[in-house]
Amino acid sequence: MNRSLLSLAQMNSFAIKAYTPQIMEINSKEDLYNLSTSTLHPTNFYILGEGSNTLFVEEMAPTIIHMALKGIKVEEIDDFYRLTVAAGENWHQLVEFCIENQINGLENLALIPGSVGAAPVQNIGAYGVEFADFCESVTWFDFADKCEKKLTRKDCLFAYRNSVFKQALKHKGVITAVSLLIAKNWQPNLSYAGLNQLPKESINAKAIMAEVIRLRQSKLPDPKELPNAGSFFKNPILSLSRYTELTKKYANVPHYHQKNGDIKVAAAWLIEQAGLKGKRRGNVGIHVNQALVLVNYGNGTGAELFNLARYVQDKVYKKFNIKIEPEVRLISSTGEKSMEEFQHG
């Protein structure tokens, strides 16, 4: 291995031993400006937060931009707290900071790995709550205009594990901060299975956070002990007619009704029914407690994990005629690619 290459093994929660020719660390507004005037290739780079939703598929990765901007500002605006948080802060530490300071609302999103700047990109969500529910705006450094811009929540086009940052704004700039509005009049959200047995009348945000942490720890492996990136696939969203067809054969598929009438079904269930839960293939496998989580047992490579993901996708497709899509971002030596792009060269 060329000595001038930098290892990314400590910078991704799959602990894949990938290498990059360059890491550009962003610590200040000046670094951002310098970045936008540098000879950055228009697409051959990847913005990395804490690497908890990233699979380096190949041994080589492109130039890495690493956001390290820090800072949390709290303001009170009538019935709300406004938090302005820099992209390089850790998400879970932000949740803890809020709960310690009686700013309640983010407790269902406790223990989600990753940085604050990554939260809007895939609109992180868990236990019936998502980032978009609290987002007032996202501050964005635009590479072409070389300045910061504010996107309102509407501009961000949030959807299930999706946003404008993954679509039209991909490669066009970088998130520098988020602004959250959290209502002072706190209401618990106990709608999700697992939380709905908690006593709605006497519960507080700290106790909900503790329960969310307990639930997550009981199902999701700690990346420090068993490297993984949480859910590898998104839960597929089906039209009502497609869902009805599915239930003729599989009446008990776990499902969630969407506002537009579509139905989201549990990919973990589909994978388990396809007989894959707990399966191991060499150095990698499908987690024993949560079939949506792929794990690296030690010396797994990005290619091995990618091949396992394809195998899971194929098996589920053959059994249910449903194509599950990765939630994890797949990175090649020349930047991000879709599963299909990797397969076809």
Give min distance, CB of 17 to ligand EPU, in A.
22
Task: Indicate the burial class of 20 (C-beta count within 10 angstroms; 0-12, 13-18, 19 or more).
Answer: buried
Interaction between residue 266 and ligand EPU (CB under 6 A) = yes
CB contact set of 100 (below 8 Å; sequence gap of 6+):
none
Residue 24 token pair: 């550009």
- Nearest to 293, CA basis, from 308, 274, 304: 308
- Select which of 13, 327, 329, 336 is catalytic: 327
Site string for ligand EPU, 186-205 (x = CB under 6 A): ------x-------------
Residue 193 CB, nearest distance to ligand EPU (Å)? 6
35 versus 309: smaller Cβ distance to ligand EPU: 309
**How far apart (Å, rounded) are the C-alpha atoms in residues 69 and 49?**
11
> Which one, of 323, 339, 320, 343, lies nearest residue 331 by Cα?
339
CB of 161 to ligand EPU, least distance (A): 6
Span of 15-23, 88-96, 288-296, 317-325 interacting with ligand EPU by CB under 6 A: 288-296
Long-range contacts of 272-277 (CB under 8 A, 24+ apart): 273/319, 273/320, 274/312, 274/315, 274/316, 274/318, 274/319, 274/320, 275/315, 276/312, 276/315
267 near 313, Cβ under 8 Å?
Answer: no
The binding track of 59-98 with respect to ligand EPU, each residue x by CB under 6 A or -, is ----------------------------------------
Structure tokens at 152: 């309102």
Choose between 234 and 329: whose C-beta lies nearer to ligand EPU: 234
In the set 8, 26, 109, 126, which binds ligand EPU (CB under 6 A)?
126
**Positions marked catalytic:** 161, 231, 327
Residues at the site binding ligand EPU, with contacts judged by CB under 6 A? 126-127, 192, 219-220, 230-231, 234-235, 254, 266, 268-269, 272, 277, 290-292, 327
